[in-house]
Amino acid sequence: VDILQRQLILEYLENLCKRGITQIITSHYPGELVDHVDQVMLMDQGVVQLFETSQKLLEMCETQRVTLDKLLYSILQYQGEKI
């Protein structure tokens, strides 16, 4: 997807969110989506590892002083150790 298409898609998703329409989005780049959704679910091998509001995730990032991608990666790594 080129830059213009990507921005149009993100704006469209944000519009759906504002209208209260539920969306299921898969992405390898959660950091760019968190500003456009209310909640985030992180799954690994079909198992929910995290289900949290976008606001709470951003607060966790601020507290831990990490990017969203690094926070989610660390959660996956931690859950992988427990399995």
Residue 79 near residue 49, CB atoms below 8 Å: yes
| Per-residue model confidence as pLDDT tens for the chain (83 residues) | 688 998 898 889 888 888 988 888 887 777 777 777 788 888 888 888 889 898 898 888 888 888 888 888 888 887 655 54
**Which value, in Å, is the radius of gyration of the alpha carbons in the chain?**
14
Please state whether the predicted TM-score (pTM) of the whole model is above 0.75.
Answer: no
Residue 63, token pair as written in the block:
């507290």
- Give 68: exposed, middle or buried? Use CB within 10 Å, 0-12, 13-18, 19+: buried
